[in-house]
Amino acid sequence: MPTRASLLLPIVMVVLAACGGDHPMSTLDAHSDLTREINHIYGRIFWWTGLLFLLVQGGLIYTVLRFRAKGNETTNPEQVHGNLKLELTWTILPIFILLHIAIPTVSVIFKSQAPATEEGKVTINALGEQWWFAFEYPELGVVTANEMHVPLGKEVEIRLQSDNVIHSFWVPQLAAKRDMVPGRVNQIKFKAEKLGEFYGQCAEYCGDSHALMKLRVVVDTPEDFAKWVEAQKAPAESESATAQAGFQAFQGAGCVACHAINGTTAAAVIGPDLTHVGSRTTIASGILENTEENLKTWIKDPPGVKPGSKMPNLNLSDEQVASIAAYLQTLK
């Protein structure tokens, strides 16, 4: 017979499992000015509500113990009707506590959606698609998808949009969470405080592959960021034999109907811009590592990787797939 304590073990293990390893999606690891301020507000809410919890539960436990029926007492307690002092206290105290929470909350909301104004700021238009993110840097002439680069310590202003359904742009450690709503532009502004790669995810159910709609934000030093911008602005390499044969196969297979490759005749904007697809670490919005094998898997059967994918299975031969994948790999 298992003891009661041993039955608790699996529950304790599940709960403790949340304490190990690193948590790329943990809101509590703040790495930007915005997420730090949000954590501050969490802290306020936690301590105020914690205090209230103790007061209310303490009062309840005290009352239950102090005034419970003892022995075979039969008299009823004295009935009172209203107590002005107590009622004033528990009306005014919560107002004070709520203001203490509401004022910083509203001020951080406003601050987080103000336009960026500082020297060296970066503006990015982010478009939620089914099921990927398009990123455009209008002032820098860069277009990319699913992996956004930003410079360390500079203001980043992201304009969030959608032309289909509602998505939500969520990068917990840098940019918090804000919806991408058709017909309006929501803004979010932050300054990254740590170099590295940060994970994000669409956080508003948007259809079949919503759970497979991830993104990454790479925080670079300002120098590395400038190098990245230069590389992204350059047209795709098109001179080599691989590139020419690959582009022919790409065109022949009909990929040009949906994708753009800057420097070639492909200019459609239904799918992600592929000009520098080889420079991304993942494909299909963070679902697959960007390797030649995975590119082949994706091109052969996109809906097999992402249910409902808007990129159809084009029933290509292995030769076509191999030639196109080799070409896309060269687009660094």
Tokens, residue 283: 């494909």
> How many residues interact with Cu ion (rule CB under 5 A)?
5
Give CA 103 to chain center in angstroms.
26
Closest approach, Cβ 21 to ligand HEC, in A, equals: 27
Q: Which is nearer to ligand HEC, 187 or 329 (CB)?
A: 329
Asked if 205 and 280 touch (Cβ cutoff 8 Å), the reply is no
Q: Which is nearer to ligand HEC, 243 or 324 (CB)?
A: 324
User: What region does 167 belong to: left with phi over 0, alpha with psi -120 to 50, or beta?
Assistant: beta
Give CA 81 to chain center in angstroms.
53
254 binds, among Cu ion, ligand HEC, none (CB under 5 to 8 A by kind): ligand HEC
Calpha distance 330→323 (Å, rounded): 11
Calpha distance 35→24 (Å, rounded): 14
Among 189, 210, 306, 310, binds Cu ion (CB under 5 A): 210
Closest approach, Cβ 278 to ligand HEC, in A, equals: 10
Return the closest-CA partner of residue 283 out of 244, 329, 247.
329
Residue 197's DSSP bridge partners are 218
226 binds, among ligand HEC, Cu ion, none (CB under 5 to 8 A by kind): none
Calpha distance 84→325 (Å, rounded): 77
| 206 binds Cu ion per the rule CB under 5 A | yes
Q: Which is nearer to Cu ion, 124 or 213 (CB)?
A: 213
Q: Which is nearer to ligand HEC, 109 or 270 (CB)?
A: 270
Half-sphere exposure (Cβ direction) of 68: Cα atoms closer than 13 Å: 7
Closest approach, Cβ 31 to ligand HEC, in A, equals: 24
Among 124, 174, 202, 321, binds Cu ion (CB under 5 A): 202
Closest approach, Cβ 197 to Cu ion, in A, equals: 21
Which 138-167 residues touch Cu ion, going by CB under 5 A? 167
Q: Which is nearer to ligand HEC, 87 or 289 (CB)?
A: 289
206 binds, among ligand HEC, Cu ion, none (CB under 5 to 8 A by kind): Cu ion
Q: Which is nearer to ligand HEC, 30 or 324 (CB)?
A: 324
Asked if 120 and 134 touch (Cβ cutoff 8 Å), the reply is no
Which 16-55 residues touch Cu ion, going by CB under 5 A? none
Closest approach, Cβ 183 to Cu ion, in A, equals: 17
Interface with ligand HEC (CB under 6 A): 131-132, 145-146, 209, 250, 253-255, 257-259, 270-272, 274, 277, 280, 283-285, 295, 298-299, 306, 309-312, 314, 316, 324, 328
Cα distances (angstroms) measured from residue 98 to each of 36, 40, 48, 50, 91: 21, 15, 9, 14, 11
Closest approach, Cβ 24 to ligand HEC, in A, equals: 19
Calpha distance 167→133 (Å, rounded): 10
Helices of type H across the chain: 4-17, 33-66, 84-112, 222-233, 241-252, 292-300, 302-305, 318-330
Closest approach, Cβ 8 to ligand HEC, in A, equals: 43
Closest approach, Cβ 62 to ligand HEC, in A, equals: 58
31 binds, among ligand HEC, Cu ion, none (CB under 5 to 8 A by kind): none
Cα distances (angstroms) measured from residue 215 to each of 144, 149, 274, 321: 12, 11, 16, 25
Residues lying near Cu ion in the complex (CB under 5 A) are found at: 167, 202, 206, 210, 213
